[in-house]
Amino acid sequence: MSGAIVACRKVKQACERYLRDLEASKSESYPWKFDPDKAARPVRFIEKFLAPTKGNYDRMELMPWQCFVECNLYGWTSKQTALRRFREGLIVVGTGNGKSTMVAGNATYAVSKDGEKGADIYLMANSKDQAKIVFDTSEAQIMNSPLLAGHFRTLRDGIHYDLTRGKIMARSSDSERLDGLNPHLAVFDEIHEFKTYKLINVIKSKSVKRKQPLALYITTMGYVLDGPLANYYALFSDALIPGKLRQTTADRLFAFIAELDDEDNVEDASKWIKANPSLGVLLDIDTLKEEWERCKLIPAERANFITKQLNVMVAADDMQFCPPEILKRNTDTIPEEALLGRPCYGGFDLSDREDFTAAALEFPLDDGRIAVMLHSWVPRRKVELDNEKIDYYGLAMRGSLDIVDGEYIRQEDVCEWFRKQAEKYELLAIGYDPANASTLSRMLGQGDKDHPGHRMVVVRQGPMTLNDPMKDIKERLIDGGIVHNNDPMFNWYTDNVRISAERRHTDKNNWMPQKRNRYRKIDGFMAFLDAHTVFMQENGSAAGDPGITVYEL
């Protein structure tokens, strides 16, 4: 908490929670207490009895972050029953940080020293091969230990500890033997690969007979953005914040999530320790830098490094639309007065009117480049939540966005912006996504007694329509051919764009934009893309000749 150790926001929240609960435990009415002896037992056991299985190490020694996890999981107990408080734990760290070694030690401790007779320990993963990784690590730790090897038996069905009649077993989602399970400890390895809750539900439903069962989800970030990890990430993150969940629910969930913060630049290696708390011990910073310099040149490998090493939740197969180094080529400026009276094309993206709304103008320039003017609106409530971590007020002072009092963006505000621009520029046409835009398109198209109507062009939001315009924008960015007067909102929106990796798009090499995550908005880029699509159609250089509408079926 002092800042002596560089840590991400969620790790700090975990520390704040521990200190907050420690203070609360002084009250007689608080149901939990922290028992230092029980907290230290698994750490002492792992360091004293288990043998290293990898690397040039002569003994096991847990790192501070691992001790923090272990002591929280095992140290918090009920004042009334002395049983463990936490029933589930989510541990997210970058690859290579020693998570499998740590949880393998937990398996051995749970089967032999956790006070549970007949303790069944299940090491699980989405595939048999992955499930065997932690199992094989646990077996090697035991067999390499002179103090433990004689007390365990390794058979085909698992590792047996006869003194408690306990057993360590590996299972996967495709295992045929999932009935009759009675887990004391369940370790779900690399939960990011799970597409369904089948295995999780089976295990959790069978653990109710145990007096203090524990389920550990241990993983890096991954590629299945609508699977269990995405939901657990949100649930366990909420458990770190007072009042986000019902207290009885939050009290049973432990979270240690090491990741880059949203505002961190992936290029800044000084921030990588946030996702890699074992950096300097198990991981070498110079080796990681070398790997990054190679990976960042290949979109899929770049995304994989960011996901697996820095714990930023993106799809590894999704390509970044425009890396920062390309955006930096587009830094030219043009005075606003030089655009007065020039022809231009408009576009807007309403999205959710309780969220960002954006509008754009595109000006073809005489030298073949294009100038882009963006404007955004955001409700004040959205600013107060500050999920996007951008400088709202600085951007508002710059004129890049309006902070709107109220809970949503009025379509009249967007209409008025276009009408003001039409007084300064020759607005030839406005492109728009017809979804949720019928009112605004009618307002702009019909005009009123003081303002002439504008020609409105439907831009269907499918790859047949957007593929060519997206690729043309990318080529222009590569050539430094887009002038946006160093608008930070343009850079932010464009940096957030990813190319969809859905098979229906990639099989035909069609590009479709999607955002990196729910807080990385692309509304301004979509408004620009709509304007650019109309520009290309009207100039005969996009899929579909002028006058022909392409429908996505």
- What's the pLDDT tens digit per position in 277-321? 999 888 899 999 999 998 887 766 777 888 889 988 654 444 678
The reported pLDDT for the residue numbered 164 is 87
Of 272-276, 354-358, 542-546, where does the model show the most confidence?
272-276
**pLDDT digits over 25-63, tens only?**
999 999 999 999 999 999 999 999 888 777 666 778 899
Q: Whole-prediction pTM value?
A: 0.60
CATH of region 326-538, choose from 3.10.180.10, 3.90.1150.10, 3.40.50.300, 3.30.420.240: 3.30.420.240
The reported pLDDT for the residue numbered 89 is 95
CB 96 within 8 A of CB 89: no
* Residue 451 DSSP one-character state: B
**pLDDT digits over 288-297, tens only?**
999 999 888 7
- Per-residue tokens: 130: 């992955």
CATH of region 9-257, choose from 3.50.50.60, 1.10.150.80, 3.40.50.300, 1.10.4160.10: 3.40.50.300
Measured CA to CA, the distance from residue 136 to residue 116 in angstroms comes to 23
Coil/strand/helix, residue 172: strand
Intrachain domains 9-257 and 326-538 with the same fold: no
- Per-residue tokens: 20: 């907050």
Coil/strand/helix, residue 205: helix
Indicate the helix (H) or strand (E) that contains 241: none
Greater confidence (528 vs 143) lies with 528
- Cα 408 to Cα 215, 379, 522: the distances in Å are 41, 6, 18
Measured CA to CA, the distance from residue 145 to residue 51 in angstroms comes to 5
Quick one: angle between helices 99-112 and 64-75, nearest 10?
30
Measured CA to CA, the distance from residue 122 to residue 185 in angstroms comes to 6
β-pairing, 214-219 vs 88-92, is parallel
Tokens 């499918």 sit at which residue? 462
Average pLDDT of span 400-422: 92
The reported pLDDT for the residue numbered 436 is 77
Q: What are the domain boundaries of the chain?
A: 9-257, 326-538
* CB neighbours of residue 197 within 10 Å: 12
What's the distance, CA 307 to chain centroid? 8
* CB neighbours of residue 58 within 10 Å: 7
SS3 of 20-60: the string is HHHHHCCCCCCCEEECHHHHHHHHHHHHHHCCCCCCCCCCC
The percent of the chain in helix, strand and coil, each rounded to the nearest 5, is 40, 20, 40
